Amino acid sequence: MLACGIQTIFPLHASSPIVYAGQVPEEQLVRQRAWLGDSWTWLLKTMVLEDRIESVTRPMALDVGCGPGLVMELLAPFLDVRGIDIDPMTVRRSNERGQEAMVAMAERLPFEDASFDIVYCSYLLLWVSDPAKVLREMARVSRDWVICLAEPDHLGRISYPPGVAELDSLFVRSLREQGADPGMGRRLQEVFVRCGLRPVTGGHSSMWSAERMKAESEAEWRSLTPAADPKAVARAREAWDDALANGSLVQYNPVFFAMARK
């Protein structure tokens, strides 16, 4: 699982459009929200909003690295949320979705200190060159909560059967070549502590069925397949199709969260 990032710009050549690190199809972001949306809203209701039940106003929130606004859309019933992202195209998609978003960098948030009650991100820190710098900026503009809703630990992936597991090393290598940190999930608590925050950290639970695996198999394959080493990819694809047919395919990726109150 990847996400739309907000950090490094990779120009392919002079006449090419700008490609942003972590940029993935919106279909994949929709699937991420489907997998984790219930967990995100549960965390928000039980950990963050419980002591605000009597409040007549909703908390003001900032989504850092908002992409096309899917998480903002999910949390809009509970928060007055704005978003920022470095990619103008995804900011436009967010605005088209009825969400308020603007182009900005996570390392230099264009807001005064303590501007928001809650500042959060999801699938962002693995893509930035200095996660602590981004987190400090998030803490600076927050007056209460700093939250990372999701960071994957691709170094802890479980793929089965063994022929499919060959994909894992290819995928991790591909992430590193793009400048990402595939083990960001396990480092999440460490980065929060380095920034002077004391988070509650945990992992999102997962469940799946063979039917859902079949329904999502092609989209999942596209999200995992690196461009390099076509022979290895072909071997993994054969094993993938066999496992999908006999019901043995397993794809599990740990995803962590961390939330701290200032």
Give SS3 for 144.
Answer: strand
* Pair of tokens at residue 67: 């992409």
Number of Cβ atoms within 10 Å of the Cβ of 204: 18
Which amino acid, residue 217?
S
CA–CA gap between residue 167 and residue 25 (Å, rounded): 20
Phi, psi of 251 (to 5 degrees): -135, 110
Q: Is 61 helix (H, G, I), strand (E, B) or coil?
A: strand
Closest CA to 101 of 120, 114, 116, 86: 86
Q: What is the pLDDT of residue 27?
A: 81
83, with CB counted inside 10 A (0-12, 13-18, 19+), is buried
Low-confidence stretches of the chain (pLDDT beneath 50) = 1-20
Decide yes or no: CATH 3.40.50.150 for domain 9-157+179-207+253-261.
yes
Count CA within 13 A, CB hemisphere, residue 38: 5
N residues, the chain: 262
pLDDT at 22: 57
Q: Quote the pTM value.
A: 0.87
